[in-house]
Amino acid sequence: MPRSWPRPGPPTAPLGGPGVLCGRAAPQRGRPASLCARAMTQIYLDHNASAPLRPEALHALCDAAAHCFGNASSAHALGAAARAALSRARRQVATLAGVASETLVFTSGATESNNTVLRQLPDGAHVVTAATEHPSVLEELSAAGERGVRTTRLPVGRDGRVDPARFAAALDEPGTALASVAFANHETGAIQPIAELSAIAAAKGVRFHCDAAQALGKLPLELARLPVDSASFSAHKLGGPKGVGALYLRPGVAFVPLHRGGAHERARRAGTENVPGIAGFGAACEAARLELEPGARRLGELRDRLWAGISRAVPDAVRNGGPEHVLAHVLDVSFPGASGETLVEALDLDGIALSTGAACHSGSTEPSPVLLAMGVPEALARAALRFSLGPVTTRAEIERVLEVLPAVVARVRRARAA
């Protein structure tokens, strides 16, 4: 069927009347109504998919968009202002990650950062990674298989963690050029023993890459103190804008840029910098840093309250991962006999937004590969929900979820049995 036909003109607002912009922090200033207006009353428990823009990030982003429009490579004052915005943001991100400013390259996000590192692999090299890694690692490695790159995908325990002894043994395979393990898992929040793993890799002379997209702003990071050679970050996971991220490159690590065409980012990533996005990223990092520890403590308490309530109301619910070595704001739970996909829709209709797991797996009936790698049986992997809390989450919202959830689970189970 032809894919083009005359489409109506600009109106994009819902017919229901004016609304507000996407994101709780978004101001309402008589702007045209947004497509996202109706979704605004949701209790948002999907921060691992994307976090609402922090007010500080929105302000920095708008300010840079309005005022720092010069090209950061230009010699005039407007160029200098844009350059200054980049420098400040670089320092803000670097402080949160615990690295030196000049080791950071701004990218379009963690996917680009991960892809860029993996494209450095020589043909025929061997890579060690975890079976629970993000698709931006695993799919890139699958594609690299075509040029002879061999990948060992290490299984993980029921806690989602890589066993250091197995990791060390895998590194002994001849031709091992890289190990790539995420700091914290996107679905279960499982925190890997990165200090130990990176030390093992360093001892064996293997380069170590860490996808820290879910860890930045959630855990205190001091990456420069670890023998980590490169790391990936994403702005929108911690309340910055989408389409921005960074790649940490330990000084002295060999690097071939993916983008060419200018000396931007010290010739490591050509292309005019996304100054507003980067400014927003920096501001989000600073805001996250200021509340890092009290924030995690608060979210950990809310998360524990959520799990206590769920396990009381739905006694056969199974927690995937945890309770140790897990991000404070993440809870992954299987509800036996209920489809996770249907639960997501049913909860959405009751005003609660969350996912089954990684966003692009939602809406598909494929069971989560992360949970399967942890040894979760397939039926339970299809019955999983990921709750990921964030700075906007309140105690009242958690109580509301606990009011709604048991009835929804019961209804979805009944309908499935019918």
Partner 1 sequence: MNGRWLVAMSGGVDSSVAAALLARAGHEVVGVTMDLGSGSDSAVGGSKRCCGLPDADDAREVAARLGIRHYTANYRAEFAREVIEPFAAEYAAGRTPIPCIACNRVLKFDLLLRRADALGARGVATGHYARLAPAPDGRPGLFRPRDRAKDQTYFLFDLARAALDRIAFPLGELEKSEVRALARELGLATAEKPESQGICFVPDGDVRGALARLDPRRPRPRGPIKTRDGRVLGEHPGAIGFTPGQRHGLGLGGGPWYVAEVRPGENTLVVACEAELRTRAVRVERASWLDGAAPDGPVRAAVRYRHRSVSARVEPGGDGGAWLRFEEPVWAPAPGQAAVVWDAADERLLGGGWIAAAG
Residues that bind partner 1 (CB under 8 A): 1-3, 5-9, 11-12, 14-16, 35, 37-38, 339, 341-342, 345-346, 348-349, 360-366, 411-412, 414-416, 418
Contact call for residues 251 and 103 (beta carbons, < 8 A)? yes
29 contact partners, CB below 8 Å, separation of at least 6: none
Query: Which residues does the annotation mark as catalytic?
Result: 360
Q: Is 154 helix (H, G, I), strand (E, B) or coil?
A: strand
Q: How many CB atoms lie within 10 A of CB 219?
A: 17
Instruction: Classify residue 357 by its DSSP letter.
Output: S
Q: Is 86 helix (H, G, I), strand (E, B) or coil?
A: helix
Query: Least distance to partner 1 from the beta carbon of 404, Å?
Result: 11
Cβ nearer to partner 1, comparing 3 with 76: 3
- Please name which of 416, 414, 385, 413 lies closest in space to residue 401, comparing C-alpha atoms: 385
Query: Least distance to partner 1 from the beta carbon of 326, Å?
Result: 27
Contact call for residues 61 and 285 (beta carbons, < 8 A)? no
Query: Least distance to partner 1 from the beta carbon of 145, Å?
Result: 18
Cβ nearer to partner 1, comparing 79 with 336: 336
Query: Least distance to partner 1 from the beta carbon of 403, Å?
Result: 15
- Residue 284 CA to residue 35 CA, distance in Å, equals 25
Is the preceding omega at residue 323 within 30 degrees of 0, hence cis?
A: yes
Q: How many CB atoms lie within 10 A of CB 309?
A: 17
Contact call for residues 80 and 298 (beta carbons, < 8 A)? no
Instruction: Classify residue 332 by its DSSP letter.
Output: E
Cβ nearer to partner 1, comparing 317 with 346: 346
Cβ nearer to partner 1, comparing 8 with 294: 8
Cβ nearer to partner 1, comparing 8 with 174: 8
Query: Least distance to partner 1 from the beta carbon of 247, Å?
Result: 25
